[in-house]
């Protein structure tokens, strides 16, 4: 193998402070911890970023080790296609999958969407997240963001009808979507859904815990319900058809853009609406997800807006409009 064809892999943990704090039903955090993979070949570098998710037993250190363990495979010619079987879905595979795609596009001199034969992403309105807090605190935060056309409201169980009513009063014109992060129970499900419907909420995300969401198939849902923690990749779609109307596709769950695009195709074929979502992370995590936006009814790629600082060459945000990545960032 000549030096021009040597392929090397590097990975590292990076930290980005959050502006204030980010709170959901499972807790709060003040920084986004990401893991970046870089694949180098012939003077070109492909990059991908992931966010290890404790909900699935992932840690930054274990994710970093899992990526580093692929060095020999990468040097031996690992491709995105062979990667899908070489690593399980999850954050580590996501970073490496996106890095390989970035490198592949650079080597071909094409944008990633052209290389894949996918529609070119355009600017889209992204949701902006209001963290979980008291109704009064959430109303105050919402007032500051009431000019944004789409707000995503984090709920957490007891007191949620009061929270969503307070938010709606503070933002009478915004479209509202709600994310309960598995915090509701079968006992309060219908009352909470009714409260959301009364406030004109468009969609409720993951109201019940994954694996304990059968009640969604037994009730008349007054508004669309979206699976998040209950759905990961294509294999998890079919059993959810009676319980959910939409699915939240996140690259950290699917294990990369390759599976995310295939999952979006499969979800639409099954009649699901699509949300493309994210973890709190830098623009390097959001950039590959932009390729899913042409198929998405809801775009939730506000991670960089929640940071105190983004990385260099980050995505362009104009209010709630997010634009496709420049080649200096990814793809």
154 part of the active site: yes
How is residue 49 written in tokens?
A: 């970023």
| Tokens representing residue 22 in the block | 């980010």
- Residue 139 sits at φ, ψ, to 5 deg, of -65, -40
Marked catalytic residue, from 106, 154, 169, 220: 154
151 beta partners: 128, 176
Structure token digits, residue 68: 């580093």
238: number of Cβ within 10 Å: 9
H or E stretch covering 39 = strand 27-41
Residue 106 appears among annotated catalytic residues: no
Q: Helix 91-108 and helix 257-269: axis angle, to 10°?
A: 100
How many Cβ atoms sit within 10 Å of the Cβ of residue 309?
11
What phi, psi does 193 have (nearest 5°)?
A: -65, -40
Phi/psi-derived region of residue 287, left when phi > 0, alpha when psi is between -120 and 50, beta in every other case: alpha
If 0-12 CB within 10 Å is exposed, 13-18 middle and 19+ buried, where does residue 302 land? buried
Catalytic residue among 106, 152, 250, 253: 250
Residue 154 main-chain phi, psi, to 5 deg: -85, 125
Closest CA to 274 of 223, 227, 315, 236: 227
CB proximity list for 94: less than 8 A, separation 6 or greater? 48, 50, 251, 252, 254, 255, 256, 257
Distances (CA, A) of 138 to 10, 205, 249: 41, 18, 26
Active site residues: 154, 250
């Amino acid at each position: 193998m000549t030096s021009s064809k040597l392929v090397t892999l590097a990975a590292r943990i990076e930290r980005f402070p959050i502006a204030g704090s980010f709170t959901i039903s499972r807790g709060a955090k003040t920084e986004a911890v990401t893991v970046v993979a870089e694949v180098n070949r012939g003077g070109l570098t492909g990059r991908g970023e992931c966010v290890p998710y404790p909900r699935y037993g992932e840690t930054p250190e274990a994710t970093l080790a899992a990526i580093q363990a692929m060095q020999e495979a990468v040097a031996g010619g690992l491709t995105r296609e062979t990667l899908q079987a070489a690593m399980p879905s999850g954050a580590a595979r996501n970073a490496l999958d996106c890095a390989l795609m970035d490198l592949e596009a650079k080597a071909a001199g094409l944008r990633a969407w052209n290389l894949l034969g996918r529609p070119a992403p355009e600017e889209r309105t992204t949701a902006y997240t209001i963290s979980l807090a008291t109704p009064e605190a959430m109303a105050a935060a919402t007032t500051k963001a009431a000019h944004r056309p789409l707000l995503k409201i984090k709920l957490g169980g007891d007191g949620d009808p009061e929270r969503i009513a307070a938010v709606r009063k503070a933002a009478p014109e915004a479209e509202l979507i709600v994310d309960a992060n598995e915090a509701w129970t079968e006992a309060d499900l219908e009352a909470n859904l009714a409260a959301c419907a009364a406030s004109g909420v468009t969609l409720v995300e993951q109201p019940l815990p994954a694996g304990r969401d059968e009640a969604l198939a037994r009730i008349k849902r007054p508004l669309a319900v979206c699976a998040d923690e209950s759905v990961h990749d294509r294999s998890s779609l079919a059993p959810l058809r009676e319980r959910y109307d939409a699915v939240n596709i996140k690259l950290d769950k699917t294990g990369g853009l390759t599976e995310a695009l295939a999952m979006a195709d499969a979800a639409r074929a099954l009649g699901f609406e699509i949300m493309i979502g994210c973890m709190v992370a830098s623009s390097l995590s959001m950039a590959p997800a932009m390729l899913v936006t042409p198929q998405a009814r809801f775009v939730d790629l506000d991670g960089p807006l929640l940071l105190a600082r983004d990385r260099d060459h980050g995505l362009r945000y104009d209010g709630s409009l997010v634009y496709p990545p420049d080649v200096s960032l990814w793809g």
